[in-house]
Chain A
Amino acid sequence: MSKLLQRKVFGLEFKNPIIPASGCFNMGKEVDANFFPIKIFGGLMSKGITRANRLGNPAPRVAETASGMLNAVGLQNPGVDHFIKHDLPFLKKQGSPVFANACGNTVDDYLYVVGQLEKTNIDAIELNVSCPNVKMGLSFGTDAGAVEEVVSAVRKITKKPLVVKLTPNVTSPALIAKAAENAGADGISLINTLGGMAVDIKTRKPVLGNRAGGLSGAAVKPVALKMVHDVYKAVKIPVIGLGGIQNYKDIIEFMLVGATLVQVGTTLMTDPMSIPQMIADLENWCKENKIKNLDEIVGGLL
C-alpha cells in the first residue's frame, strides 16, 4: 500500500483517513471474518461503551427511510471492563490506531469508562455526548455548559487524544464544538444521527420499539457537510467528518469542507465491500489530481 493517503493526526499515524463509525462495526470481528481484513482501515473504532453492560432497546430497532435508515439500538454493549478484556486485544493487534467510543449518563459514568480505558494501550477516546437513543446521553451534547463540564472532567484523567462526538440536534454545533475545545478536547467528530421517526399507518404506531431513533445514511450528508464546515471554521482542533459517506467522492467533499479524517457508518453496514473500494478509488483520485498529501485538500473549499 502506498503512503499517499497517510494522515498524521493527534500524534497518531493513520494509513488512510477512513475510520468505521461507532455502532456500525461492533468490535470489528464480524467484518474481519466475513468481508475484508480490518487492518485496511486508517483507524478503528469500538461500539459505544458504557460503565456497565446494557441490553439496549426493544425491537424493532431499525426502520428504512428514503435514502437512509433510522436506528434505536440503545447502546447495547457488554460494558467497559468486558470490552477491555475481550475486544480491545483484537482491535489493537491490527496495527491501526484504536478509538474507544465512551458513553455515559452522568459525568461520573464518563469518568469511570475513561478511567478504565486510560489504564490500557488504547490509542484515543471518542467521547460520545450525542447518542439520541439513551435517556441522558443527548442532554450533555445539546448544552454547551454540560459539554464543557464533562469534557473538562474527562480531560483531567486522560492523556490520550480526546475527540468529542457531537449531535446535529442543536441550533449551533459550532457553539458546542467551541465549548469542547475550551475544555481541552483534541478533536471534534460529527455528526451523530439526526433525531427522527417512522410511522406505520396500519397500526398507527411508531415503527421503532423505542418510538423514535436516529437518522443516518445518504439522506443526512448535506446536513453533515454544512455542520462539519461550520465547526471547522469555529475551532482550531482537527475535525472528523461523518454522515452519509458512500464513496470516495463523499470523502473528498468532507475533506474540502474541513474534515481531517472521516468515518463511515451506515454504508459499512449495507455495503461492507465499498470500504476497500473507496480506499482504492481515493488513492487513484489523488494520483490523477497530483495530490501528494490529503492536507492539500482539507478545508480547501473555495
Chain B
Amino acid sequence: MQPKHYIANVVALESLTFNVFKMTLQLKTFPKIKPGQFLNIKVPGFSLRRPFGISHYSEKDKTVSFCFMLKGDGTKELAKAKVGDTLDVLMPLGNGFLQIKNKTVAIVSGGIGLFPLLPTAKGLAEAGNKVHSFLGFTNKDAAILLDEFKAHSTSTTIATDDGSIGTKGYVTDLIVKEFDKIKPDYIFACGPEGMFKTLKQQFFTADNTLKPQFAGTEIYVSLEQRMACGFGVGKCCNQHVKLESGDDHMARVCCDGPVFNLKEVVFDV
C-alpha cells in the first residue's frame, strides 16, 4: 500500500497577489488525484497541519500546487519556504467533486475558494462538459487565475465587491440571474460560509426543497473547517448534515467531504 504521505520538494513559490501565494511541490511517486481534493501540509514549528485545496497537478511531471492566503502565523511561515526545501505532506485527501460527463456545469467561486475549482473546471472541460465560471473577488487586485479559468470555460463572468473589474456585486446574484440562460445540470461552488448560506437561501425554500425555477440542477459545495488530522480520525471538522434518508448527523469535512450536496448541509445558527 502506498501511504498517503509524501516528502515533497518545493520547486516553485510565487506570489499571485500581495498576500496570496502559489506553491508547487515535486513528488517522487504520484498518487491518483481527483479535482476538489486537498492536501494537508506540515508547517515547520507548528503542531497542526494546514489543509489547502489542490489548485494544479500534473501526473506526468509529478507536481502538485496549492495556493494560500497569508492569514496567520502558519501561512506566514509557509510563505518563507525556499525552492529546494522539503515539506511533509498528506495527500490526496477528501472526496473531491463529482466526476461527470457531457453536462452543463456552473462553477461559482468566492475569493480564495476558486483554487480547488480550477482543476475541477479543467477536469470537467476535458470530460466534455460545458463549464460556465462565475468568479467573485473583493476587487481587481484580488482577481487572479482568470486566464486559466477562461481556458476551461465556455463563459467566464467576474463579479467584484467594488466593481473594479466585472460586475459590481455578488456571484451568488449573478448565477441566479443567468440561470435560465445556462440551465446548469450542476453547480459546483467554493467560497466563504456566507456564500454557501446565500446559495442555500436563493436555491432552496424554507423547507429545504429546490425552488421550482431551479428544478433539475444539483448544487455541490466544498466546505472549509478547522481540522486536526485531515483523514477522519479526530472528528474535529464537523459539519451538520441531514441526508435524504432522514439521517441527521455530524459529518466530517475532511473525509465525508469537503464536497457536500448543498441540499444536505444544515447551517446551524
> Contact between A30 and B232 (Cβ–Cβ < 8 Å)?
yes
Contact call B48/A62, Cβ cutoff below 8 A = yes
* B47 in complex: contacting residue of A24, A25, A37, A67, CB < 8 Å: A67
From known contacts A30-B231, A30-B255, A34-B231, infer whether A61 and B236 are also in contact, taking CB-CB under 8 Å.
Answer: yes
Chain B residue contacts of A271, Cβ below 8 A:
42, 88
A250 smallest CB distance to B (angstroms): 15
Distance to closest chain B CB from A225 (angstroms): 19
Nearest-Cβ distance from residue A264 to partner chain B, whole angstroms: 12
Q: Is B226 an interface residue (CB 8 A)?
A: yes
At the interface with chain B, which of A68-76, A85-93, A145-153?
A: A68-76
Report which of B49, B233, B238 forms a contact with A24, defined as CB distance below 8 A: B233
Contact across chains for A26 and B237 when beta carbons are under 8 A apart: no
A52-60, A110-118, A280-288: which lies at the interface: A52-60
**B88: chain A residues within 8 A (beta carbon):** 271
A271 to B230, CA, bound (A): 11
B233, A31: Cβ atoms closer than 8 Å: yes
| Segment 205-250 of B: residues with Cβ below 8 Å from A | 225-229, 231-240, 249-250
C-alpha spacing A62/B268, complex, angstroms:
18
Whether the Cβ atoms of A218 and B47 lie closer than 8 Å is yes
Q: How many A-B residue pairs have CB under 8 A?
A: 100
Chain B residue at minimum C-beta to C-beta distance from A34: B4
Interface size on B, residues (CB 8 A): 31
Contact between chains at B236 and A36 (CB < 8 Å): no
Q: Contacts A30-B255, A269-B228 given: A61-B233 contact, CB under 8 Å? A: no
The complex places the Cα of A36 from the Cα of B5 at a distance, in Å, of: 10
Residues of A within 8 A of B237 (CB): 59, 61-62
Chain A residues touching B, majority SS: loop
Q: Which residues of A contact B240 (CB under 8 A)?
A: 55
B194 at the binding interface (Cβ < 8 Å): no
- Hey, which chain B residues are within 8 Å of A218, CB to CB? 47
Question: Chain B's interface: helix, strand, loop or mixed, by majority?
Answer: loop
Q: Which residue of B lies closest to A246 (CB)?
A: B47
Task: Check if B18 is an interface residue, CB within 8 A of chain A.
Answer: no
A66-B46 Cα distance, complex, nearest whole Å: 7
CB of B207 to closest CB in A, whole Å: 22
Mask: chain A, 211-237; 1 = CB below 8 Å from B; 0 = not: 000000110000000000000000000
* Cα separation A64 to B225 with both chains bound (whole Å): 13
CB distance from B88 to the nearest CB of A (A): 8
CB distance from B5 to the nearest CB of A (A): 5
Q: Of the candidates B49, B232, B238, B249, which one forms a contact with A270 in the assembled complex, judged by CB atoms under 8 Å apart?
A: B49
List A contacts of B74 (CB < 8 A): 64
Are the C-beta atoms of A55 and B250 separated by less than 8 Å?
A: yes
Interface residues of B in 3-53 (CB under 8 A from A): 3-5, 42, 46-49
| Smallest beta-carbon distance A83→chain B, Å | 14
Contacts of B90 in A (CB 8 A): 272
Q: Decide if B235 touches A56 in the complex (CB within 8 Å).
A: yes
Does A65 sit within 8 A of B, measured CB to CB? yes
Which of A30, A55, A56, A58 is the one whose CB lies under 8 Å from B233? A30
Contacts A63-B226, A270-B47 given; indicate if A73 touches B236 (C-beta within 8 A): yes
Known: A59-B226, A64-B48. 10 other contacts (CB 8 A): A26-B233, A35-B231, A62-B48, A71-B234, A73-B235, A76-B250, A266-B47, A270-B48, A270-B49, A270-B228
Q: Can you report 9 residue pairs joining A to B where beta carbons are below 8 Å apart?
A: A26-B234, A30-B233, A31-B233, A34-B4, A35-B231, A58-B268, A60-B226, A63-B226, A76-B238
A-B interface, 5 closest residue pairs, ranked by CB to CB distance from nearest: A269-B229, A62-B236, A30-B232, A60-B226, A26-B233
